[in-house]
Structure 1
Amino acid sequence: MVRNLNNTAALHAITKINLYAGNDIAKEASHLFTLDHRYGREQFQGIMPDTGAAGVSTAGKQQVTALYRIQPLRINKSTTGRHRIRFGDNPECVSLGDVNVQTPVRMIKFAVMPTNTPFLLYLNNMDRHSIYFNNVDNMLVY
């Protein structure tokens, strides 16, 4: 497989011929690719730093359900609809409410979204709680 990739890359670099032009495999809509099994309700996957494109810390409903098995959570549904977020080129989705999650740092509020996404910690929240990402050790430090 590696040899085939190397040969194809070399052929393209030299001749500019794209062997895969017209291949329908790549035309599948990107929103059809999901990580249902990874960010499902079975296992909590942790909290990931987010660049903040959404402007708020978010969590997919499935992952909120998974964390509920470890830590009692209650979705505050009085805040339903407060946030409207678009992940990539997918349709805009509306928040289902907020949930407060106890972390080693302190309690952090996440907007619950009807998506199969992990808990995403917005960079402004990281700054507010004096958290930074140590990219040498690949860990959040507080």
Structure 2
Amino acid sequence: MNAYIQEKDMSQSEDENPEQEIINEVDALTMEIDKNLSSDLSNPDIFDNYTCPVPAKNGKLHIQNLADNSLSHLLTRSIPQSENFIISGRYSTKIFHGIMLDTGAAKISTAVHKQAQAYTSEFGGDIDTPTIGSLTAHFGIGKSSSLGTLEINFPIEDLIFHVIDAETPFLLCL
């Protein structure tokens, strides 16, 4: 921190206003959230984030949660436990929480059954049941067999998620 202050003091010319520089730096850290979060103008009920669409009613909550955690990390340099990033409760059939990126631990994309049902109720689609048992996923000391598959249309390509009965989020395997 001292090195940063010394560098700022040395790099600052006499005609610069220190108060204005602080205001400019704070402005760079702030973010305005547009009340109309929908990026799909043809369907204002959908908020399209980087990995999947989310109902517009939850879009502002997702962005605000990310902004809050980003600012907290910037100020404290602490990394909150992963459960701090869950917006509400465990996975249910009522609210689709989105899709998390999996860097390859599972080697296949999976979705918890309750969240697959929440997805299909929000965006349509069906769980394809002829594929029951085509996958057995191991999580910690437990395992779960596939209850079917769910195909989700992404901008790049359609993705297949194996639906399982476990307490995990949608995991998109990279």
What displacement does 1:54 show? 2.0
- The residue type equivalent to 1:85 in the other structure is A
**Paired positions, count:** 88
Structure showing greater relative contact order (alpha-carbon pairs closer than 8 Å, 6 or more residues apart): 1
Larger radius of gyration between Structure 1 and Structure 2: 2
CA distance in 2, matches of 1:110, 1:52: 14
Deviation of the 1:116 alpha carbon: 2.4
Aligned match for 1:87, one of 126, 136, 139: 139
**Conserved in 2, the CA contact under 8 Å of 1:57 and 1:111?**
yes
One-letter code aligned to 2:151:
N
* Bigger proportion of residues as helix: 2
Percent identical across equivalent pairs? 38
Q: Tell me which residue corresponds to 1:73.
A: 125
In the TM superposition, residue 103 of structure 1 has moved relative to its aligned partner by 2.5
Q: What's the TM-score, normalizing by structure 1? A: 0.56
> Is 1:120 the equivalent of 2:168?
no
Is structure 2 residue 113 aligned with structure 1 residue 61? Answer: yes
Kindly state the Cα deviation for residue 53 of structure 1 after the two structures are TM-superposed.
2.1
Secondary structure of 2:171 counterpart? strand
TM-score scaled to structure 2, two decimals?
0.47
User: Deviation of residue 51 (structure 1)?
Assistant: 2.4
Task: Please show how residues 1-142 of structure 1 align to structure 2 within 5 Å.
Answer: 37-89=89-141, 91-123=142-174
RMSD (CA atoms): 1.8
Contact 1:62 1:116 in 2 (8 A): no
Runs of 4+ in 1 over 4 A off after TM superposition: none
Structure 1, gaps ≥5 residues long? 1-34, 124-142
SS in 2 for 1:108: strand
Offset of 1:87 from its aligned partner?
1.1
Within 2, Cα distance between the matches of 1:52 and 1:112?
17
